[in-house]
């Protein structure tokens, strides 16, 4: 894959490499991740796209050039190499990274991904996106991101545990983890298991000296201080923001979309955690039909709607979508991406960056694109889609559900009490007293659904908080887009810049 001549996204430390010179050969997951054969080679990489979006948005603010440069710059980066002993006795050197983009709010917040393609430049770019994502939805964190350059499928559970625990020790040694410093979370290739190893290692290091140690990481299992609703948060957030957008009649009219979400047809590109839960809630909460699902190695279609839970079970067993009994038609690996081009109301690219590019954008027939992945739409593709009158809800708004609920988990750990713990029974008593009063007045309350009598559970409150957070962010983005006559993506970045301006100040904290 040829190297682009464009400028690097951010200045790298040690005057060093941009990652290309030392990158291992691209194969397997890494090849698909960085050089999708369906994406034209002359389009900017994800990292360059991030910078281009930054610069475009900055022109619509009154920030000074110097302040814009400081906001865009990555504050701190950590590059670590450490050895581990494999199960067969061989020694392997593991490369890992952590970037803290902004300390305008603390702690920093961002996921840890395990993927062969991870390098310092990617981690810095993703950390910067986290800063803006948090600002867009008013979550008071600075952005961070971490990664380990491995394919987790090639390692045993024991080896993954050793790698994760050593990585945690290194983060702690260099001041890159802590409840008030930097709080990681799951990302590609990681989950609750890895977060459990991290918090356990951190607590071993600090013993009883830090009562808030459980808050050093989010996305943990419930038994280790996790929170109800975190697993499905990103997918559910996509559904909430899509439903709220389609309730805005004036916005729908601008793009020729019938207002309302019920009955809308959906195509999902990507069927991992985010894609599956988004599909599930589109059906359960909104009455939509998921007519197409696209994966890197297969795609399936059913005009009457797919049973996504059965499809997920089938995928887990077979490793492919091909042959699923509930499909009307299917496409194999070489043609699977073409399923994104079928006619539908809503397209959700929730797999990888640059999925929609100048080579296929003109074929997209969706009326609304709601981005679930980071950077799924290239700059050239967005221009084509805008000319076609297709609405695009940007990634830094739509996939912010994960960090929003991570914020709730962090608050829960610092408070040392679960949401609803102090109020649930009181709510139930109040509701039952009201029903008793109505019954005494002759009103029939026997048919009242049992759930109406219950107090809010932790999951109820998390779902409510998530919807409020992400929908408020949408309202602000739409208002800015209309006022400045710019795209929703540019408006989201503009809002983030303006919210951050007050914490940076005119001087930019220079010394």
372 and 467 in a single domain? The answer is yes
Higher pLDDT, 354 or 248: 248
Higher pLDDT, 329 or 70: 329
Confidence of residue 234 (pLDDT cuts 50, 70, 90): very high
Q: Is 274 exposed, middle or buried (0-12, 13-18, 19+ CB in 10 A)?
A: buried
Tell me the per-residue pLDDT of 356-377, one tens digit each, with 9 for 90 and over.
999 999 999 999 999 999 889 9
Average pLDDT over residues 112-137: 91
Tell me the per-residue pLDDT of 5-17, one tens digit each, with 9 for 90 and over.
322 333 333 333 3
User: Is residue 357 included in any domain, yes or no?
Assistant: yes
Q: Of the candidates 176, 197, 224, which is a domain's last residue? A: 224
463 and 450 in a single domain? The answer is no
What would the two tokens of residue 491 be? 């408006």
pLDDT at 451: 65
Tell me the per-residue pLDDT of 244-266, one tens digit each, with 9 for 90 and over.
999 999 999 999 999 999 999 99
- How many domains are there within the chain? 3
479 and 436 in a single domain? The answer is no
- Cα distance from N-terminal residue to C-terminal residue, the chain: 43
User: Is residue 19 included in any domain, yes or no?
Assistant: no
Q: Give the residue from 232, 344, 326, 351 showing the smallest Cα distance to 289.
A: 344
495 and 505 in a single domain? The answer is yes
Average pLDDT over residues 122-135: 91
385 and 450 in a single domain? The answer is no
Q: Of the candidates 224, 243, 277, which is a domain's last residue? A: 224
388 has catalytic annotation: no
252 and 290 in a single domain? The answer is yes
2: pLDDT strictly greater than 60: no
Provide the 8-state DSSP code for 45: P
Higher pLDDT, 280 or 506: 280
b/e burial code for range 59-94 (CB count within 10 A of at least 16 → b): ebbebeeebbebbbebbbbbbbeeebeeeeeeeeeb
Query: Domain range for residue 372?
Result: 227-419+458-511
User: Is residue 110 included in any domain, yes or no?
Assistant: yes
Q: What's the CATH code of the domain at 333? A: 3.40.50.720
Confidence of residue 51 (pLDDT cuts 50, 70, 90): confident
Tell me the per-residue pLDDT of 401-457, one tens digit each, with 9 for 90 and over.
999 999 999 999 999 988 887 787 778 788 777 877 877 887 777 766 666 777 778
User: Is residue 36 included in any domain, yes or no?
Assistant: no
283 and 340 in a single domain? The answer is yes
Single out the catalytic residue among 51, 145, 280, 367: 145
**Which pTM was predicted?**
0.85
């Amino acid at each position: 894959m040829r190297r682009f001549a464009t400028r690097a996204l951010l200045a790298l430390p040690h005057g060093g490499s941009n990652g290309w010179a030392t990158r291992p050969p691209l194969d397997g997951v890494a090849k698909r991740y960085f050089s999708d054969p369906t994406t034209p080679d002359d389009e900017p990489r994800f990292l360059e796209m991030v910078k281009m979006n930054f610069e475009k948005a900055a022109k619509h603010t009154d920030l000074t050039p110097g302040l814009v440069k400081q906001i865009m710059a990555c504050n701190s980066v950590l590059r670590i190499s450490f050895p581990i002993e494999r199960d067969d006795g061989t020694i392997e050197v593991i490369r890992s990274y952590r970037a803290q983009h902004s300390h305008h709010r603390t702690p920093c917040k961002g996921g840890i991904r395990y993927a062969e393609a991870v390098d310092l430049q990617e981690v810095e770019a993703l950390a910067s996106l986290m800063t803006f994502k948090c600002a867009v939805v008013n979550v008071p964190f600075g952005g961070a991101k971490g990664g380990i350059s491995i394919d987790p499928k090639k390692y045993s559970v024991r080896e993954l545990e050793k790698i994760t625990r050593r990585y945690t020790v290194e983060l702690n040694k260099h001041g890159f983890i802590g409840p008030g410093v930097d709080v990681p979370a799951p990302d590609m290739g990681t989950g609750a298991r890895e977060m459990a190893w991290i918090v356990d290692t951190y607590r071993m290091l600090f013993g009883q000296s830090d009562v808030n140690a459980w808050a050093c990481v989010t996305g943990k299992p419930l038994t280790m201080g996790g929170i109800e609703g975190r697993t499905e948060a990103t997918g559910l957030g996509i559904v909430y923001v899509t439903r709220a957008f389609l309730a805005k009649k004036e916005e729908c009219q601008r793009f020729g979309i019938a207002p309302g979400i019920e009955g809308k047809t959906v195509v999902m590109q990507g069927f991992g955690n985010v894609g599956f839960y988004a599909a599930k809630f589109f059906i359960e909460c909104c009455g939509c039909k998921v007519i197409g699902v696209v994966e890197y190695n297969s795609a399936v279609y059913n005009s009457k709607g797919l049973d996504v839970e059965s499809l997920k079970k089938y995928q887990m067993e077979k490793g492919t979508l091909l042959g699923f009994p509930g499909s009307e038609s299917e496409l194999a690996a070489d043609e699977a991406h073409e399923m994104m081009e079928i006619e539908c109301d809503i397209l959700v690219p929730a797999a990888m960056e640059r999925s929609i590019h100048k080579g296929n954008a003109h074929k997209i027939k969706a009326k609304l694109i709601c981005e679930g992945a980071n950077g799924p739409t290239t700059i050239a593709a967005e221009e084509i889609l805008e000319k076609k009158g297709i609405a695009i809800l940007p990634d830094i708004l739509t996939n912010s559900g994960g960090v929003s609920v991570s914020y709730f988990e962090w608050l829960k750990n610092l408070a040392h009490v679960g949401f609803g713990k102090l109020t649930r029974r009181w709510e139930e008593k109040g509701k039952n007293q009201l029903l008793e009063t109505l019954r005494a007045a002759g009103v029939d309350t026997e048919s009242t659904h049992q759930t109406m009598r219950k107090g809010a559970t932790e999951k109820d409150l998390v779902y409510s908080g998530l919807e409020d957070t992400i929908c408020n962010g949408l309202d602000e983005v739409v208002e800015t887009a209309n006022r400045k006559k710019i795209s929703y993506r540019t408006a989201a970045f503009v809002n983030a810049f303006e919210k951050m301006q007050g914490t940076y100040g005119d001087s930019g904290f220079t010394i």
